[in-house]
């Protein structure tokens, strides 16, 4: 990009820099690292809307994750199954060790009831039953889990089962679990389940149909009772993993996810990090989809300059103390020349906080540029004439 083009683009985005610079005082990232006392071996705070990491401790350390596994299990079940489908519980599923919702072999339950038991009661038996129902075998379902992890960018994650019982080949990281939880919380049915304190589920006795009897189950996530705005997500524990938690809360129109792995003071850690993420940051829309960012030069065209627009809404999460660290930069492809169709990709716009790129989006040509040829001139004249006639 030549200097003139870069200046023209940056002048057009000056208003968003001003908006960022007008934010209030707060803790800087460096100060936060010193002031936050967290017991967890690994932790991440992530903004739900933008996916930005707001605070982290050993975010890429591979660790056992216990029942936080079930976040992925539930998300995949909601992708692959109808909530009203009937699941017949196998003997293998009913005998799954560890935390249980006490399913009976041979009994039938709707998918939705098993999901409630999976996420509220943390039923390992529900995880096995759902996995076998969705993919015929547990092994097939685990393959789906690992494929989905890659698609979500959770590259340091590997699942060996759908429930989280200890296995040397079953691990994830605080960062990867934040990505997975963010995705799961975008599914309305999932977010409804994990935000519920209590649910009465069908509990058929031998010879009865599902729904004829019922029993209440209660969410193990005490934040739903104790923390203002808490709306999920999942607890977990094994001796190998320690106390684990995926937590979510919403305030002031924002939602924050916290992942804690091996956290002796799990509830206290969660409250501190949720409050930090919700109170010390703000989300700003830098550009709207289709908003003109600036202009760039195009060679060999009837017009030597074309407006460029953002291909999507661009939001950033900014610390209220990072007033002087926000920059907007643009990178335009070299050698742009006519013919250039409208909406053709011409570069990228990037928003930085310090040296870190926190958001980026494609730049598109805001109008067509016809070549300086006879056919191009005729096409341009036709477009101009059409606009003139429509304006009358």
363: β partners: 310, 347
pLDDT at 302: 83
Q: Which of 67, 196, 319, 321 is catalytic?
A: 67
Contact 131, 73 (CB under 8 A): yes
pLDDT for 234 equals: 98
* pLDDT at 15 (0 to 100): 33
Closest CA to 135 of 54, 81, 205, 171: 81
**Would 3-23+285-391 and 35-279 be classified into the same CATH topology?**
no
DSSP secondary structure string for all residues of 94-142: HT--SS-----TT-EEEHHHHHHHHHTS--HHHHHHHHHHHHSSHHHHH
- For the question of residue 367 being annotated catalytic, the response is no
Its CATH architecture, for the domain 3-23+285-391, is Sandwich (2.60)
User: What is the predicted pLDDT for the residue at 387?
Assistant: 64
- The predicted pLDDT at position 3 comes to 36
**210, 221 Cβ separation under 8 angstroms:** no
From 41, 90, 99, 122, the catalytic residue: 122
To the nearest 10°, the Cα dihedral for 140, 143, 145, 148? Answer: -130
Q: For residue 186, indicate whether it is catalytic.
A: no
| pLDDT score of 380 | 59
> For residue 303, what are the CA distances in angstroms to 26, 268, 307, 342, 369?
48, 61, 11, 13, 6
- The confidence score (pLDDT) of residue 64 equals 98
CA distance 46 to 52: 6
93 vs 78: CA distance, rounded Å = 19
Tokens of 389: 């006639």
Give me the residue label for tokens 């529900």. 126
Q: What is the C-alpha separation between 321 and 382, in angstroms, rounded?
A: 53
The series of mean pLDDT values per 10 residues for the chain, 392 residues long, is 39 34 33 73 97 96 98 98 96 96 93 97 97 98 98 98 97 98 98 96 61 80 97 97 98 96 98 96 91 89 88 90 80 89 93 85 91 64 64 65
**At 83, is the secondary structure helix, strand, or coil?**
coil
Check: CB of residue 326 under 8 Å from CB of residue 20. Answer: yes
- For domain 35-279, is the CATH number 3.40.710.10? yes
Q: List CB contacts of 330: < 8 A, sequence separation 6 or more.
A: 1, 6, 9, 10, 293, 294, 308, 347, 348, 349, 350, 363
Active site residue 100: no
Reported as half-sphere exposure (CB side, CA atoms, 13 A), residue 221 has a value of 29
Closest of 263, 283, 58 to residue 156, by C-alpha: 58
Per-residue confidence (pLDDT) for residue 135, from 0 to 100 = 97
Tokens of 352: 């930085």
The reported pTM is 0.83
Pairing of strands 198-202, 230-238: unpaired
Tokens (6 digits) for 19: 């908006």
Is residue 298 within 8 A of residue 304, CB to CB? The reply is yes
Q: What are residue 243's DSSP bridge partners? A: 237
Q: Could you state, in order of their start, the residue ranges of all structural domains in the chain?
A: 3-23+285-391, 35-279
């Amino acid at each position: 990009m030549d200097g003139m083009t870069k200046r023209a683009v940056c002048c057009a985005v000056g208003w968003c820099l001003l908006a960022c610079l007008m934010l209030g005082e707060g803790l800087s990232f460096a100060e936060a690292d010193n002031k936050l006392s967290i017991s967890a071996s690994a932790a991440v705070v992530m903004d739900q809307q933008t996916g930005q990491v707001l605070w982290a401790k050993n975010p890429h350390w591979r660790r056992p994750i216990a029942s936080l596994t079930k976040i992925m299990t539930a998300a995949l079940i909601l992708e692959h199954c109808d909530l009203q489908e009937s699941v017949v519980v196998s003997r293998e599923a009913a005998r799954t060790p560890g935390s249980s919702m006490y399913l009976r072999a041979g009994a039938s339950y709707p998918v939705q009831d098993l999901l409630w038991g999976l996420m509220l009661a943390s039923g390992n038996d529900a995880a096995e039953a759902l996995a076998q129902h969705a993919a015929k075998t547990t092994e097939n379902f685990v393959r789906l889990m690992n494929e989905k992890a890659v698609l979500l960018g959770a590259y340091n994650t590997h699942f060996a089962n759908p429930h989280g019982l200890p296995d040397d080949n079953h691990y994830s990281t605080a960062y990867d679990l934040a990505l997975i939880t963010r995705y799961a919380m975008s599914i309305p049915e999932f977010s409804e389940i994990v935000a519920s304190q209590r649910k009465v589920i069908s509990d058929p006795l031998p010879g009865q149909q599902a729904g004829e009897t019922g029993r209440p189950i209660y969410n193990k996530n005490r934040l739903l009772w104790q923390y203002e705005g808490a709306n999920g997500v999942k607890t977990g524990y094994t001796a190998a993993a320690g106390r684990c938690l995926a937590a979510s809360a919403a305030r002031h129109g924002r939602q924050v996810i916290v992942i804690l792995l091996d956290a002796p003071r799990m509830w206290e850690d969660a409250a501190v990090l949720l409050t930090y993420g919700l109170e010390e940051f703000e989300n700003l829309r830098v550009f709207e989809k289709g908003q003109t960012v600036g202009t760039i030069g195009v060679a060999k065209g009837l017009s030597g300059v074309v407006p460029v627009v953002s291909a999507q809404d661009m939001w950033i999460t900014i610390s209220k103390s990072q007033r002087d660290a926000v920059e907007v930069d643009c990178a335009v492809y070299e050698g742009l020349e006519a013919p250039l169709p409208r909406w053709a990709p011409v570069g990228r716009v990037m928003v930085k906080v310090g040296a870190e790129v926190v958001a980026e989006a494609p730049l598109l040509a805001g109008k067509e540029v016809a070549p300086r040829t006879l056919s191009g001139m005729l096409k341009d004249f036709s477009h101009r004439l059409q606009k003139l006639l429509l304006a009358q």
